Amino acid sequence: MKRTIPVILSFVFGMIAIVVTVARPEKIQTASLALSNTWQIIFACGLLAGVLAFFMNVLKRIKRKEDLFFDSVLFIGALIMPTLALIDGISPGSLFMWMFENVQAPMQSTVFSLLAFFVASASFRGMRGRSAPAVVLLITAFIVILGRLPVVDSYLPAITDAVLWIREFPSSAAKAGLLVGVGLGFITTTLRVILGVERPYLGER
């Protein structure tokens, strides 16, 4: 029963999903909305379970007192946003949005901006043409890095044109090949999951 119910559910939901996707939209409105809202609600519950797992993990770490100060910062930080939202709502101008716009979002983008430095460092150390394909990659990257600059637009428009040519022809052709491979492969995965051959929800392949 522990394995049978999920496999049956997988088949039923999978078949409903296929019908909802291929049938004419006006004919299956109720089923389509029921499926999308069910999916949405279960997904939201899944994220909620993730948040609960986070809190339990942090509380365990606080109990162990290994890194008490920083784990407490983590825990208190997680409580701040819900508290502010309950006090003042989530509209622009609220305390919640102030915290988000002036503390969370800038810090998040600053963390991401550190990648620029690491990209520069990695380019210095790692972008070496050691083989023929690597040379092709390096030359293309070099052309694109330079070709999107306004100063190159003005003095060397051929490089800008080269970048646009690369995007329109060889690069998009390679991406199209990738997409076809993925698209065809996905049909196999769809059938395997729906027919119960592959059961990722049971932790099996």
Q: CB 193 → other proteins: shortest distance, Å? A: 5
CB 10 within 8 A of CB 201: yes
Which structure tokens are listed for 185? 């492969």
The answer to whether 102 contacts other proteins (rule: CB under 8 A) is yes
Q: CB 19 → other proteins: shortest distance, Å? A: 9
Which structure tokens are listed for 162? 């080269």
The answer to whether 119 contacts other proteins (rule: CB under 8 A) is yes
The single-letter code of the amino acid at 174 is: A
Among 101, 155, 158, 197, which residue sits at the site for other proteins (rule: CB under 8 A)? 101
Rule CB under 8 A: which of 26-65 touch other proteins? 29, 32-49, 51-54, 56
Number of residues near other proteins (by CB under 8 A):
146
Angle (nearest 5°) at CA 178 between 173 and 181: 125
DSSP string, 72-90: HHHHHHHHHHHHHHHHH-S
Q: CB 57 → other proteins: shortest distance, Å? A: 11
Among 62, 95, 156, 166, which residue sits at the site for other proteins (rule: CB under 8 A)? 166
Nearer to other proteins by Cβ, of 64 and 102: the residue is 102
The answer to whether 18 contacts other proteins (rule: CB under 8 A) is yes
**Which residues are CB-contacts of 200 (< 8 A; sequence separation ≥ 6)?**
193
The answer to whether 68 contacts other proteins (rule: CB under 8 A) is no
Among 59, 79, 158, 197, which residue sits at the site for other proteins (rule: CB under 8 A)? 79
Among 59, 63, 123, 197, which residue sits at the site for other proteins (rule: CB under 8 A)? 123
**Which residues are CB-contacts of 115 (< 8 A; sequence separation ≥ 6)?**
none
For residue 167, the surrounding DSSP H or E stretch is none
Q: Taking the CB of residue 103, how many other CB atoms lie within 10 A of it?
A: 13
Among 78, 87, 158, 197, which residue sits at the site for other proteins (rule: CB under 8 A)? 78
Nearer to other proteins by Cβ, of 29 and 64: the residue is 29
Angle (nearest 5°) at CA 105 between 47 and 110: 115
